[in-house]
Amino acid sequence: MEKKNKVLIIAHRGESFDAVENSLGSVKLAWERNADAVEVDVRLTKDDVIIAHHDVSIKRKGNKKLKITKHRSEHIFKVNIGQENSGNSGFEKIPTLKEILLTVPAGKILFIEIKPKKGVLKPLEDLLRNCKVPKGQIRFISFNFELLVLLKKHLPEYKYYLIYRHWLPVPFKLEKLISKVKYAELDGLDLHYKLISAEVIRKVKASGLEIFTWTVNDLKLAKQFVNWGIEGITTDRAGWMKRNLNS
């Protein structure tokens, strides 16, 4: 086994085990609990505002049948997503990416998962142009390879990681995936935890790419991944994971 390395503990949609995912409360709680990084999902409203939300509609979180791309931001901001969290009886709106960027402490990292397939480049460029967070503290992830290539071309000063999973019986062709990512000059892979093994980690790191995994809430499994040399673990329980990982 490899010696344990310093691993980034990344809060999945914020501290989402105890707070509403992708909310300001969830993000701030992750920072309070000393997460190394926070991951949020972002989508684009009809008026091109980048907001933090996972699904294409607000139904699951806000109990409203509003498709995000079909509504302006002022309508979306009226939806209360705080009702899901038993510890929050007040109003909590879907936050903008700008609001989330304002929470990032010195030395911490924000992973931004880009959900839209198109139209996000200009709003993102406009937002980052006036962003005070150092470029090294912002990283982008996506399942969409072509989108990452586009963002890399226009915003080359940031890091980019391809998220990947596969469903059986489709074979996992790691070497092909590594070649694809390296050819595009992306920075690494973010693999579903079921794809992770000591050999997978070794091959990815030997290629010069970084390797992360999601979403790991089992402490024993997380310790195994750390022993194998994983560089980052995304979890719903970042504070708990970080406290217990070395125990």
Among 81-95, 100-114, 159-173, 223-237, the minimum mean pLDDT is found in 81-95
Is it the case that residue 86 has pLDDT exceeding 50?
no
Per-residue pLDDT tens for 146-182?
Answer: 999 999 999 999 999 999 998 766 678 999 999 999 9
Per-residue pLDDT tens for 96-105?
Answer: 999 999 999 9
**What's the pLDDT at 170?**
66
| CB-CB neighbours of 142 under 10 Å | 22
Per-residue pLDDT tens for 185-207?
Answer: 999 999 999 999 999 999 999 99
Domains for the chain: give ranges and CATH numbers: 8-244 (3.20.20.190)
Per-residue pLDDT tens for 31-42?
Answer: 999 999 999 999
Mean pLDDT taken over the chain: 92
Q: At CA 159, angle to CA 156 and CA 162, rounded to 5?
A: 115
How far is the C-alpha of 5 from the C-alpha of 81, rounded, in Å?
Answer: 37
Is it the case that residue 127 has pLDDT exceeding 90?
yes
**What's the pLDDT at 113?**
98
CB under 8 A, 24+ apart: contacts of 135-139: 137/104, 137/107, 137/108, 137/109, 137/110, 138/101, 138/104, 138/109, 138/110, 138/112, 139/109, 139/110, 139/111, 139/112, 139/187
Percent of the chain at pLDDT exceeding 70: 93
